[in-house]
């Protein structure tokens, strides 16, 4: 009863009458955060606030900002600015109407909020053009516990003919501060997710991809925006966004003449005009947003909690330790090579064997990357008893079995390319440019979608003992074009390709909800929430060099959780970089993600064998903390001092594991010191160093008990300081 009275009072409070018009406050709220808009029928919807929850929201109804001298109009921030009216900045929406008019003016047409379940609330704000029958619905889903808000948009119209949609963003966020620091992530093959932070100046900074496929290899569609100074781990206001979309994207940051920053995020409008028919709906993907008043640590924990629950498969279950055959065998293997690898993997305590590239193709055998893609029949010469034999062999050894596919691609030297030239992405009569000797199949075509689904289905159906698929994609789009789409709709390709991919993913997940799928695209070319939703994990990079992985995983884990981050121990010297590193360092790095191995296991002998088997045993002990716990970063590898350290803490704060790495020679007398985070100050914790021989601990207090308060206030020091020294500490409540 009390709640009802309060709700009525609240509604009265936030509705006032301005010149006969009702003005209202719209709030999109999680447990701790809120986005606030004000709206009156037939007026623009104003974006008022995005941050921690606050009292007195009705004050937003009268809020004024300095006006524009020649018109007296406010420099207002809109929820979803369209190109038209007095708007001159980067618009979220730009379209050309049926009659050739270039402008749109979107005004409020109503909103509704509905509880989807105990943790999810949906709010839809409906906008319409002032003059034309064009409608845009802005949809928010607020995830209460995780403090995540997703925003997306849908457009449709009733004009007589087609409307040309030229810009159609997912979200627009206006901010106002003294200064803005943007963190974004650039990369290339084997060096993905390299973090860069810069102070924004007036004008527009754009982070984008036009590659169509493998879009996250060079820039990730995720950002962190810190107000009034560079971002810090545990303090300062930071906003973050990550676009859930597996195609071209554009994030733009426009600092205007009023000192306001407008962040527009969504599909990349480049060469993508969409000819929208009457009644047809076009949907922009979800932008996944969060905020923290206490630095980026909380941002990561919000994303990780949300991703484990809503943006990946099986995020609540422990993920297995894998031996993947790629770096151990590449294309050169036969049945015995593989069964030997399995024998040795099983001895280490590995839990799954994955057969990578090279197992298929007969007329065009897949003995290198130049032939066979598209012909998904087992190569009889290499594997005469077929995949079922290998899958059974694995299971008899106590291992699960997984297998690699790259179903969106085709080698010119393949039966498929000869049979279906019309399925290949091409630009009219221009050359089809190969990349890694392969072409791309046109997923905008439903027949290709069926083929890709069937490939998956057929491969999985080879044996009931296949429980994991590694789905790779090793090129991006160039010389774009589709034989399937009509000439007038070639610009739809970018959108339709991704929709086609999602159709296939949907069908696969409907039929195979339990199978584990790895998201791989030349390493980290598809690390974003749109695709991750259908997968259990991703391969963060083809670079398995532990030193480089510290940086790649640092950037990746700002948004994506450790449970989804495939992280494998490989051989030394490293195949990508030639760098030598001790086995301990390689394990200590890989164990902070989803541990696996990427080598020929028979090469690990003697002391190294003992070490590896023990490390795998220890990983099983710390796995629930790493995979399901909270990440606390202690020292960034990007800091000047060349250390890196982070912890995972179990949700109940009973167990924690700390990783520390020395990235260079620090001198004979310098040691590593850090204060711990995330523990319970009232509890005592016993610290045990893992991956270390008795008597060789780098921690003076190995085996001793300390209070959480002491560990977080006084901290600990470790005797590590040479390049590739490292330590892993298990911290358990007594």
Which residue numbers are catalytic? 472, 542
Q: Which stretch binds ligand DGJ (CB under 6 A): 72-80, 129-137, 167-175, 517-525?
A: 517-525
Q: How far is the CB of 216 from ligand DGJ (least distance, A)?
A: 13
Residue in 140, 181, 223, 326 binding ligand DGJ, rule: CB under 6 A: 326
Residue closer to ligand DGJ (CB basis): 522 or 627: 522
Query: Residue 11, exposed/middle/buried by CB under 10 A (0-12, 13-18, 19+)?
Result: exposed
Residue 530: its H or E element? helix 529-532
Measured from the CB atom, is 137 or 537 closer to ligand DGJ? 537
Of 525 and 530, CB closest to ligand DGJ: 525
Q: What does each C-alpha distance from 677 to 590, 708, 712 come to in angstroms?
A: 22, 9, 6
Q: Count of CB atoms within 10 A of residue 134's CB?
A: 25
Tell whether residue 80 is a contact of ligand DGJ (CB under 6 A).
Answer: no
- Per-residue binding string, ligand DGJ, 171-210, x by CB under 6 A, is ----------------------------------------
Please tell me whether residue 474 binds ligand DGJ under the rule CB under 6 A.
yes
Binding mask 433-472 for ligand DGJ (x = CB under 6 A): ---------------------------------------x
- 105 or 192: CB nearest ligand DGJ: 192
Q: How far apart are CA 209 and CA 215, in angstroms?
A: 6
- Find the part of the chain contacting ligand DGJ (CB under 6 A) among 218-226, 519-527, 648-656, 717-725: 519-527
* Cβ closest to ligand DGJ, residue 103 vs residue 411: 411
Q: To the nearest whole angstrom, how small is the minimum distance from the Cβ of residue 367 to ligand DGJ?
A: 12
Q: Which of 305, 351, 356, 408 binds ligand DGJ (CB under 6 A)?
A: 356
- Alpha carbon of residue 546 to chain centroid: 21
Residue 403: CB minimum distance to ligand DGJ, A: 11
Size of the site for ligand DGJ (CB under 6 A): 11
Across-strand partners of 130? none
Which lies closer to ligand DGJ via its Cβ, residue 153 or residue 473? 473
**Residue written as tokens 């003449």?**
257
> Distance between CA 122 and CA 566 in Å, rounded?
33
Cα 626 from Cα 631, distance rounded (Å): 8
Residue nearest to ligand DGJ (CB): 357
| CA 383 – CA 338 distance, rounded (Å) | 9
Task: Give the range of 68-76, 112-120, 281-289, 515-523 binding ligand DGJ by CB under 6 A.
Answer: 515-523
Which of residues 268 and 522 has its CB atom nearest to ligand DGJ in the complex?
522
Among candidate residues 48, 46, 51, the one with its CA nearest the CA of residue 32: 51
Can you give the C-alpha Rg of the chain in angstroms? 27
Give the number of other Cβ atoms within 10 Å of residue 42's Cβ: 11
**Residues between 115 and 174 with contacts to ligand DGJ, criterion CB under 6 A:** none
Cβ atoms 418, 375 nearer than 8 A: no
Provide, rounded to whole angstroms, the least separation between the CB of residue 552 and ligand DGJ: 13
Q: Which stretch binds ligand DGJ (CB under 6 A): 92-100, 169-177, 287-295, 518-526?
A: 518-526
Would you say 84 or 523 has its CB closer to ligand DGJ? 523
Parallel, antiparallel, or unpaired: how do β-strands 163-176 and 180-186 relate?
unpaired
Contact pattern for ligand DGJ over residues 520 through 559, marking x by CB under 6 A = x-xx---------------x--x-----------------
Per-residue interface string for the shown chain with ligand DGJ, residues 663-702, x marking contact by CB under 6 A: ----------------------------------------
| Calpha distance 512→673 (Å, rounded) | 48
Backbone angles phi, psi at 146, to 5 degrees: -85, -5
Residue 691 token pair: 């991956």
Beta bridge partners of 148: 143
Smaller CB distance to ligand DGJ: residue 474 or 691? Answer: 474
Torsion angles phi and psi, residue 66, rounded to 5: -55, 135
* Interaction residues for ligand DGJ, span 15-34 (CB under 6 A): none
Q: Does 494 bind ligand DGJ (CB under 6 A)?
A: no
Query: Per CB under 6 A, which of residues 393..422 are in contact with ligand DGJ?
Result: 404
What is the SS3 string spanning 316-384?
A: CCCCCCEEECHHHHCCCCCHHHHHHHHHHHHHHCCCEEEECCCCECCCCCCCCCCCCCCCCCECCCCCC
Cβ neighbour number for residue 112 with a 10 Å cutoff: 11
Q: Are 169 and 285 in contact (CB under 8 A)?
A: no
- Taking CB under 6 A as the criterion, the residue among 24, 357, 618, 630 binding ligand DGJ is 357
DSSP state of 603: G
The contact set with ligand DGJ (CB under 6 A) reads 326, 356-357, 404, 472, 474, 520, 522-523, 539, 542
């Amino acid at each position: 009863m009390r709640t009802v009275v309060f709700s009525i009072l609240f509604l009265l409070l936030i509705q006032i009458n301005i010149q006969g018009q009702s003005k209202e406050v719209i709030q999109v709220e999680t447990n701790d955060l809120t986005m606030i808009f004000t709206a009156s029928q037939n007026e623009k919807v104003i974006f008022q606030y995005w941050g921690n929850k606050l009292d007195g929201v009705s004050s937003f109804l009268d809020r004024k900002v300095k006006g524009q001298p020649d018109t007296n109009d406010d420099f207002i921030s809109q929820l979803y600015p369209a190109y038209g009216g007095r708007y001159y900045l980067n618009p979220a929406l730009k379209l050309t109407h049926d009659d050739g008019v270039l402008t749109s003016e979107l005004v409020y047409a109503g909103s509704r909020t509905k509880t989807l379940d105990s943790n999810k609330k949906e709010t839809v704000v409906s906008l319409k053009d002032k003059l034309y029958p064009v409608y845009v619905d802005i949809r928010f889903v607020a995830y209460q516990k995780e403090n995540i808000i997703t925003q997306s948009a849908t457009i449709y119209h009733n004009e007589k003919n087609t409307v040309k949609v030229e810009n159609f963003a997912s979200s627009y966020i206006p901010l106002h501060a003294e200064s803005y620091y943007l963190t974004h992530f650039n990369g290339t093959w084997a060096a993905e997710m390299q973090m860069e932070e810069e102070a924004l100046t007036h004008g527009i900074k754009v982070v984008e991809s036009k590659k169509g496929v493998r879009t996250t290899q060079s820039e990730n569609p995720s950002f962190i925006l810190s107000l009034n100074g560079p971002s810090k781990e545990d303090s300062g206001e930071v906003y973050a966004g990550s676009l859930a979309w597996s195609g071209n994207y554009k994030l733009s940051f426009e600092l205007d003449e009023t000192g306001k920053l407008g962040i527009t995020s969504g599909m990349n409008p480049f060469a993508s005009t969409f000819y929208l028919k009457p009644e047809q709906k076009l949907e922009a993907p979800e932008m996944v947003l969060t905020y923290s008043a206490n630095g980026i640590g909380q941002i990561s924990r919000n994303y990780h909690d949300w991703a484990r629950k809503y943006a990946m498969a099986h995020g609540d279950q422990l993920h297995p330790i894998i031996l993947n055959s790629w770096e151990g065998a590449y294309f050169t293997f036969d049945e015995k090579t593989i069964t030997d690898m399995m024998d040795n993997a099983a001895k280490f305590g590995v839990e799954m064997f994955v057969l990578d590239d090279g197992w298929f193709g007969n007329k065009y055998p897949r003995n290198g990357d130049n032939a066979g893609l598209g012909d998904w029949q087992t190569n009889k010469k290499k594997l005469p008893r077929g995949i079922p034999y290998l899958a059974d062999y694995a299971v008899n050894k106590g291992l699960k079995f997984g297998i690699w596919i790259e179903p969106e691609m085709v080698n010119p030297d393949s039966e498929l390319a000869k049979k279906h030239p019309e399925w290949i992405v091409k630009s009219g009569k221009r050359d089809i440019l190969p990349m890694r000797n392969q072409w791309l199949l046109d997923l905008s075509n439903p027949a290709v979608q069926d083929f890709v689904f069937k490939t998956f289905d057929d491969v999985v159906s080879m044996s009931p003992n296949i429980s994991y698929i590694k789905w790779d994609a090793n090129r991006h789009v160039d010389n774009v074009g589709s034989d399937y789409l009509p000439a007038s709709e070639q610009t739809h390709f970018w959108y339709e390709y991704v929709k086609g991919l999602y159709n296939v993913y949907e069908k696969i997940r409907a039929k195979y909800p339990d199978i584990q799928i790895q998201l791989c695209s030349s390493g980290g070319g598809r690390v974003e929430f749109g695709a991750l939703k259908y997968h259990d994990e991703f391969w963060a990079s083809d670079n398995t060099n532990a030193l480089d992985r510290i940086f790649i995983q640092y950037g990746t884990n700002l948004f994506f959780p450790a449970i989804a981050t495939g992280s494998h121990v490989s051989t030394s010297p490293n195949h990508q970089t030639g760098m030598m590193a001790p086995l301990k360092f390689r394990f200590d790095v890989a164990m902070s993600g989803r541990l696996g191995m990427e080598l020929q296991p028979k090469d690990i002998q003697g002391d190294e064998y003992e070490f590896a088997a023990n490390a795998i045993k220890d990983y099983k002990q710390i796995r629930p903390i790493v995979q399901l716990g909270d990440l606390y970063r202690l020292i960034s590898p990007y800091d000047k001092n060349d250390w890196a350290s982070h912890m995972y803490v179990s949700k109940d704060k009973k167990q924690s594991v700390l990783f520390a790495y020395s990235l260079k020679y620090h001198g004979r007398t310098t040691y590593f010191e850090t204060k711990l985070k995330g523990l319970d100050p009232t509890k005592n914790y016993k610290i045990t160093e893992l991956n270390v021989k008795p008597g060789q601990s780098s921690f003076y207090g190995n085996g001793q008990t300390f209070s959480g308060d002491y560990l977080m206030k006084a901290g600990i020091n470790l005797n590590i300081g040479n390049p590739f020294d490292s330590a892993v500490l298990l911290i358990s409540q007594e």
